[in-house]
Structure 1
Amino acid sequence: MRFLLVTAAPLLALWAWRSKYTIYNNILIKPDLPDAYYHQGNASTQCSPLKLDPEFTYCEDLSPWDLYTSDAEDKSISERRVLISCDAGRKEWNTVMGPLKNPNPRGSLWSYSPVSGKTTRLVLQDFPEDHTFHPLGLEACPSYAGNSSYLYVVNHAKEKTVIEQFLISPSFAVAKHIRTLSHPLFISPNAIALTGPNSFYVTNDHVFTRRLPYYIGSVLPIVETVFGLPLSFTAHVTLDANEAESDNPILEHTIVAPFVAFSNGISISPSGLEVAIASTSIAQVHFYSRNITSNALTYTSSVHLPFSADNVNYDENGNLVVSGHPHFPTLIKLAANKTDVAPSWVISISPLEGETKPEPEYDLKATLSASAMVPPPARHTLETLFQSNGSKFSTGCTGLNDPISGNLYVSGLYAEEGVIVCHP
């Protein structure tokens, strides 16, 4: 017993020091957030839900889908649509937070056009009838000259988590199923960032998952999350471009970012030279330099956030938009049907130019400033784009800023409205 106490004490001290901002900001206290704040005006009048269908609810990921006017050499975008993954049955089937009760009701995929203002459900064509579908992270290749392009979607299916490959067209509300991708190291895929039509990064958020039998699946994932154990990882996957009856469609699976606590969202910068990965359980975003030829990643820096980071998206100006959960206990209660709403926070992380030094106080326009909760990052600055105590919008998990339309989109993991859009 004495040995256990002597061994455990320094480990607990290390955990408390490493996770001090998360423990205090996101667990011990509930931040005093406003009903709603939008950085470009009045959230009450400028932010509204996209919800038009009962199935368009509990939405997780948002991804831009760029439609180019002609070939790959022409960079003229005719429209930027938004692809959305939703799962109305999330409270019955959630392999990350639980429970694992009923996997049968299928989740859904949607496309939103800011040009028409319409939200359209994508019909799953040629999807196996006996295959369950619970979409999480997704990303699509751009479409050129109206042609179809690949869409990849993480699917937390009944038996195991896989990645589904679809073909989508700008002209039809259809996602044609191409193939299901599986690998022994697809332990808990969460988010995807494409490096080409047949290659991508994929995060794995846990090593211990709720799929483990008996009480093990109820205990070990919580331990991994709460103690911020750096067990999760990100891999790069290369596929066989030949879709037809490939016995082994995954040609290469390489772990490129190991030893991260709860790897969640991932995004590649517009230059292709940087990758950001959210570390949820320690409320940070890690930045990596990327070798474009080999897709190898090298860690460079981290940024503390005033919330548990969920998904991340670079905009075309190189700013990283991060959305997350400011109070984790409330999120847990909401998933268990013990409360109705949980807070949301969306922040933009921008790199500092040249020798610019960070200001000790920053993000001062927000109702609750991030600088009141976390120290200034050394190489970046933070600006709140949206925040809510849950009354305006609950459980914001993905933020997407579109400089073309000026719109800010926020999806909610357990938001009845599914997604809101804020117009400047």
Structure 2
Amino acid sequence: MSRLLRNVIIGLVVAVCIVSVLGWRFLSAAGYFTGIRAEVPADCTEIASVPGPEDIAIDRERGLAYVGALDWRAMMRGDKAVRGGIYVIDLKAPRDEWALAPVTPNEPADFKPHGISLYIGADGKRRLFVVNHAEAGNAIEIFDIAEDGTLAHVKSVADPLLVSPNDVVAVGPDAFYATNDHGSKGVGAQLSDLLLLRNANVVYYDGTAMRKAADMLLFPNGINVSPDGATIYVAESLGAALHVYTRDPATGALTARDYTRLGTGLDNIDVEPDGSLLIAAHPNMLAFIRHASDPKHLSPSQVVRIEPGKQGGGKAGTIYLNLGEQLSGSSVAAGYNDLMLIGNVFEKKILVCKQTKEFKSF
């Protein structure tokens, strides 16, 4: 055997080994090897919805649930004319009368909402912050909320740092944090996923300028803030972990404090009044990807409840888990008293389920 042929063979073997290892790492992170032994049921009813009620924010004082919705499959088909919307559910009405009422203003005309966040100031004034994937570029839209729940557009915040915004959390009348689920677009984003590169980040806007607040994240998705404003939570989808940061309210600076791997593809985070977290999740990200292109392929839905400890740590467990027949592609679980509203990325419904405090292993 010639030296050239031997080197070629060695190179091929090394290449196959590298590809195999990278493939195994990606499949493992995407939940390919995750087995679901049993479902965790909940007592649920359905609310009819427009396609893709992806995120929900609840005004518990007024009893209103804001829903950000977009026909994501139409977006994936390249329909540039598709316009999403914001809807409100009157939770004070009898349960059998709960329905989505549109409150989307005319501005901006190109409106493709993703994550949403409700801000209530000390003076009681309310604003809704919305990630917008407009054709002209990504932006965070800020709306004033009237007494009847309708919205009036205040301004758009655009910045080169908003590379691939996924979710937003408001921390002031003009200030917010937003997750960039990727550090680049197009092929670079796809390679980041396949190679599990930690090149995504969280950005902070103080009302005047935007800057990076946290980085080295792997597909950061949902983001939210603790009731006292001192802690920021960031959920990783491919990283399957929850990051906890201490927040400096004066500067907006974030300091990494804790990290918990939960072993499931985390999506949006809801923070309840007692500080507990409800996180919707995708136990099998590959099934979710298949569901995105074909609704006949079901994607398991999961809701994880976390009760943070006062000195760190805490308790975590699954309170809802379905193989996809009842709901595929859960993206948010927003708590309201002893209920939770579960949204999703593609389907035309929202589940309203009893929220148990009994944890199941996942």
TM bin, normalised by shorter chain, reads: 0.7 to 0.9
Query: 2:81 & 2:254 partners in 1: Cα distance?
Result: 38
Distance in 1 separating the partners of 2:12 and 2:245? 37
Q: Which 5+ residue runs of structure 2 have no aligned equivalent?
A: 1-7, 356-362
In structure 2, relative to structure 1, the CA distance for the partners of 1:104 and 1:380 (3 Å cut) is same
Local SS of the residue matching 2:45: strand
Post-superposition offset of 1:271:
2.1
Distance 1:266 1:24, change over 3 A: closer
RMSD over aligned Cα atoms:
2.8
Partner of 2:331: 397
One-letter code of the match for 1:90?
Answer: W
Amino acid at match of 2:69: C
Question: Partner residue of 2:360?
Answer: none
Which residue matches 1:277?
234
CA distance in 2, matches of 1:140, 1:312: 13
Q: 1:144 to 1:258 in 2, by over 3 A?
A: closer
User: Which residue number corresponds to residue 158 of structure 1?
Assistant: 135
The Cα shift of 1:409 comes to 1.5
Q: 1:422 aligns with which of 346, 353, 356?
A: 353
Q: Is the 1:309–1:325 contact (alpha carbons within 8 Å) kept by the matching residues of 2?
A: yes
Q: Report the CA distance shift for 1:123/1:352 in structure 2 as closer, same or farther (over 3 A).
A: closer
The 5 A counterparts of 1:320-399 are 320-337=277-294, 339-352=296-309, 379-399=313-333
Q: TM-score, normalised by structure 1?
A: 0.74
How far apart, in 1, do the equivalents of 2:30 and 2:137 lie?
A: 34
Aligned with residue 50 of structure 1, among 47, 52, 70: 47
Distance in 2, Cα, partners of 1:261 & 1:271: 27
Q: Mark the CA change 1:11 to 1:254 in structure 2 (over 3 Å): closer, same or farther.
A: farther
Q: Does 1:201 align with 2:132?
A: no
Partner of residue 190, structure 2: 222
Q: Any idea what SS the aligned residue of 2:192 has?
A: helix
How far apart are residue 193 of structure 1 and its match? 1.0
| Structure 2: distance between partners of 1:283 and 1:90 | 23
Q: Deviations over 1:12-33 (max 9, x none)?
A: 86x689x58x707712345344
Correspondences of 1:18-417 after superposition (within 5 Å): 23=28, 26-34=31-39, 37-38=40-41, 43=42, 46-51=43-48, 53=49, 56-67=50-61, 79-87=62-70, 89-93=71-75, 99=76, 101-116=78-93, 117=95, 118-128=98-108, 131-142=109-120, 149-172=126-149, 174-209=150-185, 217=186, 219-239=187-207, 251-337=208-294, 339-352=296-309, 379-402=313-336, 405-417=337-349
Question: 1: CA distance between counterparts of 2:212 and 2:20?
Answer: 29
TM-score where L is the length of structure 2: 0.85
Measure how far apart 1:200 and its partner are: 0.6
Supply the AA of the counterpart residue of 2:158: S
Report the count of equivalent residues.
Answer: 344
Q: Quick one: percent identity of the two aligned structures?
A: 22
**Relative to structure 1, is the Cα distance of residues 3 and 420 closer, same or farther in structure 2, using a 3 angstrom cutoff?**
same
Question: Aligned to 2:289, what secondary structure does the other structure show?
Answer: helix
The alpha-carbon deviation at position 48 of structure 1 amounts to 0.9
1:287 shift after superposition: 0.9
Q: CA deviation at 1:393?
A: 1.4
| CA-to-aligned-CA distance 1:28-87 (integer Å, 9 cap, x gap) | 3453442xx34xxxx3xx311121x5xx231111112244xxxxxxxxxxx332211111
